Chain A
Amino acid sequence: MADALFEFLHTEIVAHVYKEQAQRGDTEKERSSSLSALEGMGFRVGQGLIEKFTKDSPSFKDDLDIMKFVCKDFWTNVFRKQIDNLRTNHQGTYVLQDNKFALLTQISSGKQYLEEAPKFLAFSCGLLRGALSNLGLESVVTAEVSLMPACKFQVVIQKN
């Protein structure tokens, strides 16, 4: 029930942000600024959520420990399932693969709506980035879809 509500709300937020932007500016700019608006919303939500979810967990050993937490506990709490595959090059790049990403399941699978996909992933990218940032990892998160309900998030940790 609760996840259905979140999915509806998410769809509405995406639609709303794009409608607002369409009323304002030209198409080229509009696309990237709505994406960053959605990403920003996700970032704030991620920051808050991770604070809640890590309340009872022991402190983390290293970056990989944090990524595992995000893939298992965080993802389960938000999307009702774990990340299917986590890969890393041990140099700060992680690829998280979800074979049936919750926010894409409503859209018909396959390649038909492929170019619509980025706007439904921007929020989740922000969510990831916000969660990691609050745990002390500044990162760049990008998403990639090649076949519809499956989706890959690439996380690159920024070393400082």
Chain B
Amino acid sequence: MAVCVAVIAKENYPLYIRSVPTQNELKFHYTVHTSLDVVEEKVSAVGKALADQRELYLGLLYPTEDYKVYGYVTNSKVKFVIVVDSSNTSLRDNEIRSMFRKLHNSFTDVMCNPFYNPGDAIQSRAFDSVVSGMMVQAC
């Protein structure tokens, strides 16, 4: 499903980033990096919007020729970005939602782990396997 999954800290530095084809790794770093501007824009718009629109899921951030980029912001302002292949048209919005949900649940577990220091890069095997679960179906 996903070709790249990234977690970005409140201060906009990466906590975790993983992509499928390793030769394109740098390209995904760029894609995720550029998406942060769109996230910022959406988050500040949400603040002004009506009460019922205050959702954590931000939806499609922007499409490129080959990929679609989706975003999600937790209440602690940690951003999740998922990059999906555009050719995969069967993927529906609520599937993306449930991926973010899973990612968020796993991230909370990481945060509640006493051996993890908030703000450090995520090196958790449990988190890794959740992310792998989202990516394997692409291969």
Contact = CB atoms under 8 A, between A and B. Distances in A.
B111 A51 contact: yes
Given A58-B54, A58-B55, A136-B10, A48 B112 contact: yes
A61 B118 CA distance: 24
Contacts of B10: 136
Contacts of A136: 10, 76-77
B112 A54 contact: no
Interface string B1-16: 0000000001000000
Interface residues of B, number: 20
Interface in B31-53: 46-47, 51
A51 B51 contact: no
Given A59-B75, A136-B10, A52 B118 contact: no
A51 B55 CA distance: 16
A contact residues, range? 10 to 19
A135 interface: yes
A59 B46 contact: yes
Contact of B54 (A48, A50, A61, A134): A61
B112 A51 contact: yes
Nearest to B53: A58
Contact of B73 (A52, A59, A135): A59
Contact of A54 (B46, B51, B54, B75): B75
B104 interface: yes
A65 B5 CA distance: 31
Q: Which of B54, B75, B111, B118 has the most CB of A within 10 A?
A: B75
A48 B111 contact: yes
B105 interface: yes
Contact of A59 (B56, B104, B108): B56
A124 interface: no
B111 A60 contact: no
B112 A59 contact: no
Given A58-B55, A61-B54, A52 B75 contact: no
Contacts of B73: 59
A52 B108 contact: yes
A58 B49 CA distance: 13
